[in-house]
Structure 1
Amino acid sequence: MPGAGPRLRAGRAPHPGGDPGPAGLRPPRPLSRHLRPSRALAGGGGRRRRTLRRKPSWLAGSLNTGFVNLYLDAYEADRAGRAVPAAWHAAFAAARTADVNAGQDVLLGANAHIQRDMPYVLAALGLTRPQGGTRKPDYDRFQAVLDRAYGPAVQDVAGRYDLIVALADDRWNPIAGLTGRQLFRSWRAQAWEHARQLVDAPDQAARDRVARRIETNAAQWAQLLSAVRLPGYRTVRDDYCRTHTTPEPASARP
């Protein structure tokens, strides 16, 4: 779909890595939190494998690869000083310099992954199976995997990067857990709808209008999510990360 969003590339998609920087939650680690459940699609635990026993290759392969590649493209462009989509710019800027908490970092990354990137990936791969029929049931199973990954991901971020994120730990705060899951479900449903609009657009001008809606929606969410700042909290997070984060081996970096 020329002109209606980024062009997907085959292959690549290494595991995100890199130097986390002094604050621990620096790109790409904080913003790749949402990628971890996606990577698990390819070979997760027994329950996950049973859920996706009939998963088609596009779900654990092409969709996953395209999703990760758009993140890596944005990350590398940002590091090189090139322009990136507004949603990613807000996420990277907050992770580098802002007095935001790790929960905001995670939400900013998830917003850019889901609301900005996902519609383009889905539309490029197609919303129907080669033999006919919608891919929506496959997509819904993918969402079930991500839903189950919510609690462990929150625990991991709280334990390694920012204790305040434990407020969203659904083991003891079911309201926060439910709210987080509902937010992500809403974003994923919107991503599918935007992908459908891209696919159904009758001409290039219509596709461009959909693309503008996608970019605007993700950018507005990013602005909202990064609005709350706590002066001095960056230093608190820096200190917490230094004592709770183990440096990543150089071999794990891209």
Structure 2
Amino acid sequence: MPANNIDDVVDGLADIVREAGHTGDRVGYFAALYRQVTVEVRAAIHGGRFEDGARMDRFDTLFGNRYFDAYDAWRRDRSGPRCWRETFGLLDDADTVIVQHLILGVNAHINLDLAVAAAQTGPGKAVHALRHDFLLINDILTRVVLAVQDSLDVLSPFLSLLDKVGARTDERILDFSVRQSREEAWHNAVLLAGQSEEQREATIERLDVRAAVLARLIARPGGLVRPALHLIRSTESDDVPAVIAHLDRAMEQASAARRTG
């Protein structure tokens, strides 16, 4: 069932995380990250941080439903947007490391879904009123990414190897790629908001193709990155439910560390 509000989005993501934990499905990696972002956005709405909380609730609901639709399409018949097919298609790949799964989900959801959801929330010139609240989410994303990075440091002891081969995957690449992608998504949202239905379809197709290409590059990087990833993978736990549980507690663990630090 589609989500009707942000509470439904949180509950739907929690269900995916819970089921993935029971079955050992790596779809729970990104879902755990996404759930925590959504919980933080909901808290910001309730705390009056956004200029228009009701609008942000609608926006987050549209955004979440795009993920749910892609996930349902994949489970049903391996269909859905190209970039999500690339992402979900690697869930059973034992060589893909945890951080790749996270970035693949971020890539598809931001480089495709975010612009579409923003344009639907503010069609036409109304999209410009969304700009302030859209930018506020960057701060929320940064906090969650930093917390998840702490989890990755525990789960992937050799992750720092990627720094040595020029492929940073610490909080800086995650934060930078998210901010960079969100800025591009904003420009695409403004474009989509002013287009006709036919033009929107063509733009969404283009965004999907681009995100799918990026997904393939994330999944199969070249140069020295590939052997580094193999070494990183050899040190990561094969206990998928435990990894999901650890990622899903990232914000809770970060808060506890701040209280005791």
Whether these two folds match at TM > 0.5 is yes
SS at match of 1:106: helix
SS at match of 2:90: helix
Aligned partners of 1:123 and 1:196 also within 8 Å: yes
SS at match of 1:189: helix
Q: Aligned pair in 2 of structure 1 residues 232, 115: CA closer, same or farther (>3 Å)?
A: same
Q: Please tell me the residue identity of whatever aligns with 2:37.
A: P
Once residues 20 and 238 of structure 2 are traced to their aligned partners in structure 1, the CA distance between those partners, rounded to angstroms, is 13
Q: Please tell me the residue identity of whatever aligns with 2:33.
A: R
Once residues 74 and 128 of structure 1 are traced to their aligned partners in structure 2, the CA distance between those partners, rounded to angstroms, is 26
Which residue matches 1:183?
A: 177
Aligned partners of 1:119 and 1:194 also within 8 Å: yes
Q: Please tell me the residue identity of whatever aligns with 2:89.
A: A
Query: So what's the TM-score if we normalise by structure 2?
Result: 0.72
Once residues 168 and 177 of structure 1 are traced to their aligned partners in structure 2, the CA distance between those partners, rounded to angstroms, is 12
Aligned partners of 2:159 and 2:169 also within 8 Å: no
Aligned partners of 1:111 and 1:221 also within 8 Å: yes
Aligned partners of 2:156 and 2:232 also within 8 Å: no
Aligned partners of 1:28 and 1:75 also within 8 Å: no
Which residue matches 2:28?
A: 28
Which residue matches 1:250?
A: none
The share of aligned pairs that are identical, in percent, is 21
Aligned partners of 2:122 and 2:193 also within 8 Å: yes
Q: Structure 1: any 5+ residue segments left out of the alignment?
A: 1-7, 248-254
1:68, distance to aligned residue in structure 2 (A): 1.8
Say whether 1:140 aligns with 2:135. yes
Say whether 1:225 aligns with 2:233. no
Q: CA RMSD in A?
A: 3.7
Which residue matches 1:39?
A: 39
1:38, distance to aligned residue in structure 2 (A): 2.6
1:65, distance to aligned residue in structure 2 (A): 1.7
Q: Please tell me the residue identity of whatever aligns with 1:69.
A: N
Q: Aligned pair in 2 of structure 1 residues 32, 219: CA closer, same or farther (>3 Å)?
A: farther
1:25, distance to aligned residue in structure 2 (A): 6.2
1:205, distance to aligned residue in structure 2 (A): 2.8
1:165, distance to aligned residue in structure 2 (A): 4.5
Which residue matches 1:214?
A: 207
Q: Structure 2: any 5+ residue segments left out of the alignment?
A: 247-261
1:98, distance to aligned residue in structure 2 (A): 4.4
SS at match of 1:194: helix
Q: Which moved more, 1:25-34 or 1:79-88?
A: 25-34
Which residue matches 2:148?
A: 153
Aligned partners of 2:27 and 2:91 also within 8 Å: yes
Once residues 133 and 72 of structure 1 are traced to their aligned partners in structure 2, the CA distance between those partners, rounded to angstroms, is 26
1:129, distance to aligned residue in structure 2 (A): 8.8
Which residue matches 1:72?
A: 68
Equivalent residues, number: 230
Q: Aligned pair in 2 of structure 1 residues 104, 175: CA closer, same or farther (>3 Å)?
A: closer
Q: Aligned pair in 2 of structure 1 residues 243, 120: CA closer, same or farther (>3 Å)?
A: closer
* Structure of greater relative contact order (alpha carbons < 8 Å, 6+ residues apart): 1
Which residue matches 1:4?
A: none
SS at match of 1:225: helix
Q: Aligned pair in 2 of structure 1 residues 28, 243: CA closer, same or farther (>3 Å)?
A: closer
**Residues 99-145 of structure 1 deviation map (CA, whole Å, 9 limit, x = unaligned):** 11111111000011111111111111116897x96210111111121
1:28, distance to aligned residue in structure 2 (A): 3.1
Once residues 76 and 169 of structure 2 are traced to their aligned partners in structure 1, the CA distance between those partners, rounded to angstroms, is 40
Query: So what's the TM-score if we normalise by structure 1?
Result: 0.74
Matches within 5 A, 1:239-254: 239=238, 241=240
